[in-house]
Amino acid sequence: MSTSTDPDLPPERRKQTHALPLESQGATKKSSEVFLCPVAQTDIPHLAQMYMKAYRGMEEYGEATTDQALLYLQGLQRHCSHSFFKAVIHGNTAGFIVCDPDWYEPGQKKVLEIHELVVDPDHQGYGLGGLFMRFARAMGRKHGRTAVSLWAGEGNHRAISWYTLKHGFEPGRRDGIWIHFQSSIQPMGWQ
C-alpha cells in the first residue's frame, strides 16, 4: 500500500491522488486502479443505496429501508469521520469501509474495529474487500493495535466464511444474532 493512502494523513494530503492496483483474478477480469478517498457527507445517500443493495436478502442484519441506512451511515460518519473511506474505480464508487482504531474491547487493549464493510455487488469478487481489509490492518498497525475485530450476523454465511477462511478471523462471544470475530494484526515485516 502506498504511504500516500495512510488514513492518518491530514485530509488535504489524503485527497491527493493515490492509486492501488486491484489484482487481476482471472482471464475475464482486468486489473484496475482503485482510489481510496475519505467519505464526504454528500456521498452518504449513494452509499446508503449501495448498502441496501449489498444487504439484499440479509435485511435482518442490515437496515429495513434506505432512509434508515442513511441515518445509520450518517451516525457512523459523525463518530468515525477520519476512518470512513470509499473506493473509487473508473470514477465510480465501488464500496466503503468504516473503522474505529480506538475501540475498546472488554478485557483487552484497544483494537481496530471495523464497523461496516460493503462492496457493491457489481464489484464483488475482484479483490476489493481484501484491499479494504489490508487497509484496515494498516490503519490498526499505524495506531499500534494488535487486533482487528468486527461483528457479523450469524446468518451472513458468505461474509463469515470470507472472514474466517480467507482472512483468519476467529469467532468469539455472541450477542443475540450477532457473533464477534477477531484476527491479529502482525507487525510490519512479519512473515
Ligand X SMILES: CC(C)(COP(=O)(O)OP(=O)(O)OC[C@H]1O[C@@H](n2cnc3c(N)ncnc32)[C@H](O)[C@@H]1OP(=O)(O)O)[C@@H](O)C(=O)NCCC(=O)NCCS
Binding stretches for ligand X (CB under 6 A): 25, 54-55, 117-119, 124-130, 150, 152, 156, 158-159, 161-162, 165-166
Strands 147-153 vs 110-119: parallel, antiparallel or unpaired = parallel
In the complex, minimum distance from the CB of residue 13 to ligand X, in angstroms, rounded to a whole number: 26
In the complex, minimum distance from the CB of residue 76 to ligand X, in angstroms, rounded to a whole number: 13
Distance, CA of 164 to CA of 167 (rounded, Å): 6
Which residue, 132 or 143, has its beta carbon nearer to ligand X? 132
In the complex, minimum distance from the CB of residue 12 to ligand X, in angstroms, rounded to a whole number: 29
Nearest residue to ligand X on Cβ basis: 129
176, amino acid identity: G
Which residue, 11 or 113, has its beta carbon nearer to ligand X? 113
Which residue, 156 or 183, has its beta carbon nearer to ligand X? 156
* Radius of gyration of the chain measured on its C-alpha atoms: 16
Which residue, 97 or 185, has its beta carbon nearer to ligand X? 97
In the complex, minimum distance from the CB of residue 157 to ligand X, in angstroms, rounded to a whole number: 7
Which residue, 12 or 56, has its beta carbon nearer to ligand X? 56
In the complex, minimum distance from the CB of residue 93 to ligand X, in angstroms, rounded to a whole number: 13
